[in-house]
Amino acid sequence: MQRFVLRTSVIGLAASLGAMPLAAQQAKPTVFDVQPYAGYMMFGKMIEGPIGSSVSSSSGPVYGAQMSLTMAKNFALYGNVGYSSTDLKVGLPIIGGIDVGSSKALLYDGGVELKIPLQSAPMVTPFVQGGIGAMRYEVSSSFLNTNATNVAYNVGGGVDVKLSPNFGVKVMAKDYLGKFDFKEATSFDLNGKTMNNVALTLGVHFGF
């Protein structure tokens, strides 16, 4: 009798474990996702002067949140807001970088996200993003106190790891490409170089 009960329990446990992946696959997909994140941002040079001089924001932390709306099985629209506060740095030959003030950046953008499902690992989904938005700088130093907003195109990609039907972890690298608007900031019609501002982020996402 005890042997029969034990055998029945083992069979029941095995059946339950075997049904878990199937239940996960049959779970209703989420339509709306919210992803708070934190990470590290590396800013490009706002302007390059003679003999190697430059002005740029130092690398530093970035925080934000992304929201996405699934439009098809592997296609979604997203909106993102991020914020970073770092030092304003002047680069000089031989001496190197000198902190001369503070620089704050507000990022807001939107675009499309394409997911790339893996048959061998259904819980792990690589993805790519592309879109357009803006970066608003607030610069404060002994020689300049101003703000400026410039258009920023963005491209990125990463991996989404689903830990449950409505919860997961998202790792992403994203590049914001744009030019600092010197005309708005200083009234001088200077043509700055196109900057690559790269954000490396880790976040969690909640699906609804």
CATH number at residue 144: 2.40.160.20
Q: Does residue 88 lie in a domain region?
A: yes
Q: Does residue 169 lie in a domain region?
A: yes
Domain range enclosing 199: 30-207
Q: Does residue 76 lie in a domain region?
A: yes
Q: Does residue 198 lie in a domain region?
A: yes
Q: Does residue 8 lie in a domain region?
A: no
Amino acid at 67: M
Q: Percent helix, strand, coil in the chain (nearest 5)?
A: 15, 65, 20
Q: Does residue 54 lie in a domain region?
A: yes
Q: Does residue 185 lie in a domain region?
A: yes
* 9-61 pLDDT, tens digit each: 444 444 444 444 444 444 566 799 999 999 999 999 887 776 666 878 999 99
Q: Does residue 23 lie in a domain region?
A: no
Residue with tokens 């690992």: 121
Q: Would you state the pLDDT for residue 140?
A: 87
Q: Would you state the pLDDT for residue 193?
A: 76
Burial class of residue 146, CB neighbours in 10 A (0-12, 13-18, 19+): middle
User: Which parts of the chain register pLDDT below 70?
Assistant: 1-29, 50-53, 93-97, 143-144, 186-191
Residue with tokens 């900057």: 195
Closest by CA to 155, choosing from 133, 136, 134, 174, is 174
If one counts the domains in the chain, the total is 1
Q: Would you state the pLDDT for residue 16?
A: 46
Whether the predicted model's global pTM rises above the 0.95 cut: no
CA distance 134 to 154: 9
Helix (H, G, I), strand (E, B) or coil at 13: helix
Tokens of 201: 């982020």
